[in-house]
Structure 1
Amino acid sequence: MSEDQHAAAMRFIFEAGVLKHAARTGWWFAGVKHPETIAEHSHRTALIGMILAAMEGADPARVTMLCVLHDTQETRTTDLPHIAKRYLAAAPNTTITADQIADCPPAVTDTITAAVTEYEAGETLDAIVARDADKLECLVQAVEYRHQGIDNVQRWIDSSRAALRTDSAHRLAEAALTGQPLAWLTPPARPE
Structure 2
Amino acid sequence: MTDTEAAGAMSFIFEAGMLKRAKRTGWWIAGISDPESIAEHSFRTAIIGIVLAGMEGADPARVALLCLLHDTQETRVSDIPHIGRRYLTAADNETVTADQVSACPPEVADPIRAAVAEYEAAETLEAVVARDADKLECLVQAVEYRHQGTDTVQRWIDSSRSALKTAAALRLADAALAGNPLNWLTTFRTS
Deviation digits for residues 51-98 of structure 1, max 9, x if unmatched? 100110000000000000000000001100001100010000000000
Q: For 1:122 and 1:87, how far apart are their aligned partners in 2? A: 25
Q: Which amino acid aligns with 1:184?
A: W
1:120 equivalent to 2:88? Answer no
Q: Which residue of 1 aligns with 2:101?
A: 101
1:159-178, aligned counterparts within 5 Å? 159-178=159-178
Q: Which residue of 2 aligns with 1:136?
A: 136
Which runs of 4 or more aligned residues in structure 1 lie more than 2 Å from their structure 2 counterparts after TM superposition? none
User: What is the deviation of 1:189?
Assistant: 6.8
Q: For 1:189 and 1:88, how far apart are their aligned partners in 2? A: 50
Q: Which residue of 2 aligns with 1:48?
A: 48
Q: Which amino acid aligns with 2:3?
A: E
Q: Which residue of 1 aligns with 2:17?
A: 17
User: What is the deviation of 1:2?
Assistant: 1.6
Q: Which amino acid aligns with 2:181?
A: P
Aligned residues: 190
Q: Normalising to structure 2: TM-score of the pair?
A: 0.98
Q: Which amino acid aligns with 2:61?
A: A
Q: Normalising to structure 1: TM-score of the pair?
A: 0.97
What's the Cα RMSD here?
A: 1.0
User: What is the deviation of 1:128?
Assistant: 0.0
- Any gaps of 5 or more consecutive residues in structure 1? none
Q: Which amino acid aligns with 1:70?
A: H
Q: For 1:107 and 1:168, how far apart are their aligned partners in 2? A: 34
Q: Which amino acid aligns with 2:93?
A: N
- Any gaps of 5 or more consecutive residues in structure 2? none
Q: Which residue of 2 aligns with 1:32?
A: 32
Q: Which residue of 2 aligns with 1:58?
A: 58
Q: Which residue of 1 aligns with 2:181?
A: 181
